[in-house]
Structure formats: C-alpha cells, structure tokens
Amino acid sequence: MTEDEFALLAAGAALGALSDEDQRAFRRALADHPEWGAIADADAETAAALADLPREVAPPPALRSQLLARIDEAPADPAHEVVEPASTDPDPARPAKRGWGRRGWLALAASVVLVVAIGTATVIAVEQAAQPAAVVALDRIQSAPDAQQASAPVEGGGQATLHWSESLGRAVLVTGEMPQVPGDHTFELWYVRDKTAIPAGTFDATGASTSAVLKPGMQPGDVIAVTVEESGGSPTGQPTSDPILTIPTA
C-alpha cells in the first residue's frame, strides 16, 4: 500500500465510512507503517472538529445528482484515464486532457460535502480544532458505541485509566501524578501484541493529571504498556526497561 492509498483510507476511517475489509487494511497499514500515524491523527482531529456541527447540511440536490452521475460514468479502475481525441484540439502542442477517473470524482464529492459543512459553522469548527488532541480523541472514543475503559496501578505510585474503542482503533491513557524520571527521559507507550512491542508514542507527565493519545492502530487484545525511555523514545524501537504500567484490553 502506498502512502496516498493510506491517506484515502485514513480519511474514510476518520469519517467512520470504511467497510470491514478496508478497516482491517487500514489497521494493518498502521501497524506496518507507524510513521503514517500523523496522517490518521490529522484526519481524526478534523473529523472530530466537524462532528458537533449544529445541523446537517446537505449539498444542493442538483449538485449531488451531477456528482453521482459523473462517479458512475468514471472507469471502475482508478488507474484508467480518459483521453480526449487529439483531433478536437486545434493546438497540437497542447497536452491532451485527462479525466479524473473514479477516485478523482469521489475525492471531489467528499470535498464538496466538507466545504458546505465548513461554510455553515466555521466558528464552531475552529473552536473544536483548538482543543488539545487528547481531549478530541477522548471525546470521540467515549462517544463510540463500543467505548471501554480499564484502570491499573503505576509502579512507583499513582493510577492510570485507559480509554479505547476497537471500532476506531484508538486509545487514550489518562494518568494521575506519575513517578519522577530524569530530565533526559520520557514515558513511552507500547502496543504489546503477540509478545511484540509496537511503539505507540511518548509523553511527559509533570502535573497532577496527564492525558496521552496513543498512535492509531490499536487492535483487539492488545496490552498497553508504559516504559521509561530516553527523550524522544527508545533508540532501538523496543523497550529498554521493564514496564511501569500494563493494561490488558481483553
């Protein structure tokens, strides 16, 4: 899967519009390419900012029907391109016009819907987008029909609660006051899956409470762990210390 293909899946995941098959492909891609998590995060935050619009705004019926008609007429294979006959262009030096294909029209349709929605509630969208990422993610998780949570003690003192949604593939860790660590160290989150640790982000905790968003890609049955690592995360991509917190999700 290419990064562009993943970006399309990420947009669909943020809108809750993926089929079961696409959802599995989305999660596999995140597991294989954790560096793509930023794309999914940005889409999720944008979708969350638009989730509480005061009313639904449908595109004009004529525009909707025109777009759907063009989508149906487009080739099923997005790799196909439609080229107009060269004889219709009086300037032979001008490049032939190329059609968008199904993917292009679908992208245009999604863009029109977003533009219409944004145009009706710009102020509210900006206010939502200004919220911390952890607040936005936690709100989405708690609003999901399969929202779950579990708590566990932190070694060295304190308690932490994990909030997650399997359908969203997202999780947020909310901690109390965490143990002190050296200034050149940080806390690192991990998905522990089939005895393999997968990096899920880092966070610092200096106050009485901290919320940390795990990178997208959580799968059913993952164990969430926290270790203390060098600033920026483990240089090896694997835990270098014993976990101070583990929370099973199954």
DSSP annotation of 198 reads E
Could you state, in order of their start, the residue ranges of all structural domains in the chain?
A: 3-54+126-131, 61-120, 135-248
How far is residue 237 from each of residues 197, 200, 201, measured CA to CA in Å? 9, 10, 11
Tokens of 211: 């919320």
The predicted pLDDT at position 2 comes to 86
- Write down the CATH number for the domain with range 135-248: 2.60.40
Residue 217 in this model has a pLDDT that exceeds 60: yes
- The β-bridge relationship of strands 159-165 and 148-153 is antiparallel
Collapsed DSSP state (helix, strand, coil) of residue 62: helix
Q: Report pLDDT digits (tens) over 81-126.
A: 444 444 455 555 554 444 445 445 455 555 555 554 445 444 444 4
Residue 1 CA to residue 31 CA, distance in Å, equals: 12
Q: Report pLDDT digits (tens) over 151-198.
A: 999 999 889 999 999 999 999 999 999 999 998 999 999 999 998 999
- Residue tagged 């560096």 (tokens): 35
Average pLDDT in the chain: 78
| H or E element in which residue 212 lies | strand 210-213
